[in-house]
A and B are shown apart, each in its own frame.
Chain A
């Protein structure tokens, strides 16, 4: 079976998983959790369920994108470049959701939409790296060259991921003053943790679904002149 048809079979399954998990996660987050949490956070902390899920996926997908880009550079396999390129857009969507929900949360909890705090700033840079990757990819017409060039950009941009991590889990609070709270999972109430993790899984399944859909589109576009594409049932009908 080709990757194209395998992906076609998997996409509906990932969609079902994404819808079920996200619904369960949000249900849990809205009906099974307390209205206030320890550090003075009121109901608005519930933004956490989309904020953390999207922020984790934004960083995770960057790693996935670099992985495929690296495989592409080493083995020169076309499919891995296509996967890297498909991942970049879902990663950008997740970064934007994290930034928007974070700004709204910031407004309620810190009283400001935005602050040049290390966590927020590094996350904005992550968005720029994603956008830079996409722009570079679409700026070069020759796909083989654009794949390689953008793969290198993705590798260089990888430096931002540990910086984001240390910006939020600052080892010495005196050295990096941060508004953003530490992401300590140990102090979180277990129902909130469950809701957060299930929603994140849902977003992960969503990422699988959209990335596979996009990869299929890229395959069709790039291989449109091959005989296997013209023999596809959806082309013949």
Chain B
């Protein structure tokens, strides 16, 4: 197993490039999910404010 990670002495290079790709490709969807949450919250808040405004007018 350790031989597998050693990769003939090139393990550090191979695994760091794999890790760089993995980090970026996990970060991107994580940020997208976070963004979706904040946008949905914003939309809900706007709707609440709008309702309050129309109620006050009436």
Q: In the complex, what distance in Å separates the CA atom of A2 from the CA atom of B25? A: 28
Write 13 A-B pairs (CB below 8 A) sorted by A numbering: A43-B8, A44-B10, A44-B13, A50-B17, A90-B28, A97-B20, A101-B20, A108-B13, A210-B28, A210-B29, A213-B33, A213-B36, A234-B40
A105 located at the interface, meaning its Cβ lies under 8 Å from any Cβ of chain B in the complex: yes
Interface residues on A, range: 35 or more
Q: A43-B8, A50-B18, A216-B36 are in contact. Are A97 and B25 (CB under 8 A)?
A: yes
Min CB distance B28 to A, Å, is 5
Q: Of B9, B17, B40, B44, which one neighbours A101 at CB under 8 angstroms?
A: B17
- Measured CB to CB, the nearest residue on chain B to A225 is B46
Instruction: Contact check, A96 vs B10: say whether CB atoms are below 8 A apart.
Output: no
B: interface residue count bin = 20 to 34
Residues of A at the B interface (CB closer than 8 Å) are 26, 30, 35, 42-44, 46-47, 50-51, 54, 89-90, 93, 96-97, 100-101, 104-105, 107-108, 206, 209-210, 213-214, 216-217, 220-221, 224-225, 229-230, 234-235
Q: Which B residues have a C-beta under 8 Å from some C-beta of A?
A: 4, 7-10, 13-14, 16-18, 20-21, 24-25, 28-29, 32-33, 35-36, 39-40, 42-44, 46-47
Q: A50-B18, A93-B25, A224-B46 are in contact. Are A217 and B39 (CB under 8 A)?
A: yes
